[in-house]
Amino acid sequence: MRVFVIEDDAALARGLVAALRSSGLAADHEADGAEAVRLALSEPYSLVVLDLGLPGLSGFEVLRRIRAAGAAVPVMILTARDAVADRVRGLDLGADDYLLKPFELAEFEARVRALIRRGQGTPNPVLRCGALAPDRATGTVTLGGEPLTLRRRELAVLTALMTRAGKVVPKERLAAEIFGFDEAVAPNALELYVARLRKKLQPGAGPEIRTVRGLGYLLDAR
């Protein structure tokens, strides 16, 4: 899953991006409002984290343009403004959540997970596909009731496939959800993570990741 942080405080943005990436999410950052609108509408983000006090375009205007273009991506507003009128305006413009600065990182991360699940239409933190059950709240995975150790990227690929189980996910789309635009990625990185996952899922014990030639990958729960 990929999160877009729109924040002009460089130190805060670095901290949020680092926290998101350490929790297994891809994360991008932009401080300019106009460029943020362009990216939010062109990249497959699972969540936008939006500061209201941006230079140039305000956060309110960024949100208005994103919603006016028809984007349904969940949006969490971050702001130091605690006036009720500001909160009402943000929610009326289409925000899904509102977090006042300063905030605890643990609460931020929990809200991020909840909004991503809600945006995917799967509010339960535990996904299930056959004997496989990753818990998106804790980052743990079980297969047949036994713990399964996955690296951060492997879990991200698995989660992206499980939220679309039984459907083909194009390689380009999957890669765009897993890797941020400023990350150095080897040409065969996605194939490597899929190969590792297949090995760990133990043929015959867990769902199968099938390659649909020329299209992408499909998680088959048979």
pLDDT of residue 128: 87
pLDDT of residue 214: 87
Q: Report which of 55, 60, 42, 45 is spatially closest to residue 5, judged by C-alpha positions.
A: 45
Instruction: Return all residues near 77 (Cβ < 8 A) that are at least 6 apart.
Output: 50, 51, 52, 59, 63, 90, 95, 97, 98, 99
Map 24-45 to HEC letters. CCEEEEECCHHHHHHHHHHCCC
pLDDT of residue 114: 92
Map 115-138 to HEC letters. HHHHHCCCCCCECCECCEEEECCC
CB 21 within 8 A of CB 182: no
pLDDT of residue 53: 86
Below-50 pLDDT ranges, the chain: none
Question: Considering Cα of 212, then 217, then 218, then 220, what sign does the dihedral take?
Answer: positive
Neighbours of 110 (CB within 10 A): 12
CB 98 within 8 A of CB 90: yes
pTM for the whole structure: 0.80
Neighbours of 113 (CB within 10 A): 19
Mind listing the domains of the chain with CATH numbers? 2-119 (3.40.50.2300), 132-220 (1.10.10.10)
DSSP annotation of 206: B
Question: Using CA atoms, how far apart are residues 44 and 17, in angstroms rounded to an integer?
Answer: 17
CB 1 within 8 A of CB 46: yes
pLDDT of residue 10: 93
Question: Using CA atoms, how far apart are residues 191 and 108, in angstroms rounded to an integer?
Answer: 32
Question: Using CA atoms, how far apart are residues 153 and 116, in angstroms rounded to an integer?
Answer: 17
pLDDT of residue 204: 65
